[in-house]
Amino acid sequence: MPVRSVAVEASLETGRLIARAREDAGLEQTDLAQRLGWSVRTLSNLENGRRPVYTDGELATLAGHLGVPAQSLRRGAPPARTEGLSFQALLAGLTREQLQQVVREARAELRARAR
């Protein structure tokens, strides 16, 4: 039986954690891939350990869309959905257009409350 490298094992474990968090969030691969602007193949490769998470920013973006802390998608840490994510962590997973929508909605809410 071949010995796997530590990097390959880490990619496999991270992929499993991402897949579990996606399933816990009630999302299909197609849904998450679309939100991320990725192909389903890219997400599938990531979940199956055939593609690593390249940067902390990429991991934070995934976590933001899944509603979990980024560190919960790291090797050895079980994902746990939290309601108390920081505002910054929640925003990290949004596209520019989504951020603009959040700002528009927040402004509208503030105007409505001021009346």
Q: What proportion of the chain, given as a percentage, has pLDDT over 90?
A: 23
Q: How far apart are CA 85 and CA 67, in angstroms?
A: 8
Residues 6+ apart with CB under 8 A from 84: none
Whole-number pLDDT of residue 80 = 45
Q: Domain ranges for the chain, please list them.
A: 6-114
What is the per-residue pLDDT across 31-40, written as a single tens digit (0 to 9) for each? 999 999 999 9
DSSP code at position 68: S
31, 59 Cβ separation under 8 angstroms: no
Q: How far apart are CA 111 and CA 39, in angstroms?
A: 39
pTM of the model: 0.61
DSSP string, 27-59: --HHHHHHHHT--HHHHHHHHTTSS----HHHH
What is the per-residue pLDDT across 41-82, written as a single tens digit (0 to 9) for each? 999 999 998 888 878 788 888 988 998 888 888 765 444 444
Q: Under CATH, which number does the domain 6-114 receive?
A: 1.10.260.40
Whole-number pLDDT of residue 74 = 79
81, 25 Cβ separation under 8 angstroms: yes
